[in-house]
Chain A
Amino acid sequence: QVQLKESGPVLVQASETLSLTCTVSGFSLTNYGVIWVRQPPGKGLEWMGIIWRNGNTDYNSALKSRLSINRDTSKSQVFLKMNSLQTDDTAIYYCTRNYGPKSVMDAWGQGASVTVSS
């Protein structure tokens, strides 16, 4: 059964760094990519970045300067780090599964709610 689960702090101070972990099961990170998506309260969805199955990464240009994604395939974990947080980074952060370029997000985690406090 394919599962993704996000974990990390619920509350982060402004200007600090957010670190989230996505732990996957039911598939291998060497066969699928993982995309991070976020959703501010009551708003729409924004893709943040992707780590492809070959380990390469791409980032949303709006977040590229603050964001990094890497992984530990032996632990089936993907890591998101985003620095210089502001209050408008308050959101639910999702990790999702992706087969490759020009393909959809066919499985989603439950989401991690992160509040940035000033």
Chain B
Amino acid sequence: DIQMTQSPASLSASLGETVTIECRASEDIYNGLAWYQQKPGKSPQLLIYNANSLHTGVPSRFSGSGSGTQYSLKINSLQSEDVASYFCQQYYDYYTFGAGTKLELK
């Protein structure tokens, strides 16, 4: 099974800041990587798929990059509504999620 290692586990940032979350796969997942946002008390929502494609309706301050085993999610100009947990997921070989990153405002 493919393992996903996500870092950091938690992150505190100020409004307007740029934040980056990393995800490493245990083997090459050929860009089969998605990012999900989960706000408190809500279900996860798809942000990015195929490592760098923005899902419909997602603000352009979110971006994804990476290849092979290393991937990242960047949020430019952090907004208050971005406070949430973020999960990476590989879907190259069935499905595995990262442990999540909890993003809070400083």
Identify the A interface with B (CB < 8 A): 35, 44-47, 58, 60-61, 94, 102-111
Shortest CB-to-CB span from A95 to chain B, Å, is 10
Q: List 11 A-B contacts (CB under 8 A).
A: A44-B100, A94-B43, A94-B44, A102-B91, A104-B89, A104-B91, A105-B36, A105-B44, A106-B55, A107-B46, A109-B43
A45 near B97: Cβ-Cβ < 8 Å: yes
Among A45, A46, A103: residue with most chain B CB under 10 A: A45
On chain B, the number of residues with a Cβ less than 8 Å from chain A's Cβ atoms is 21
Which residues of chain B from 80 to 105 have any CB-CB distance to chain A below 8 Å in the complex?
Answer: 87, 89, 91-92, 94-100
* Chain B residues with CB under 8 A of A106: 46, 49, 55
CA distance A111 to B45 in the complex (A): 12
B46 near A104: Cβ-Cβ < 8 Å: yes
B44 near A108: Cβ-Cβ < 8 Å: yes
A102 near B43: Cβ-Cβ < 8 Å: no
A45 near B49: Cβ-Cβ < 8 Å: no
* Chain B residues with CB under 8 A of A94: 43-44
B87 near A61: Cβ-Cβ < 8 Å: no
A104 near B34: Cβ-Cβ < 8 Å: yes
* Chain A residues with CB under 8 A of B66: none
Please name the residue on chain A nearest to B50 by beta carbon.
A104
B96 near A47: Cβ-Cβ < 8 Å: yes
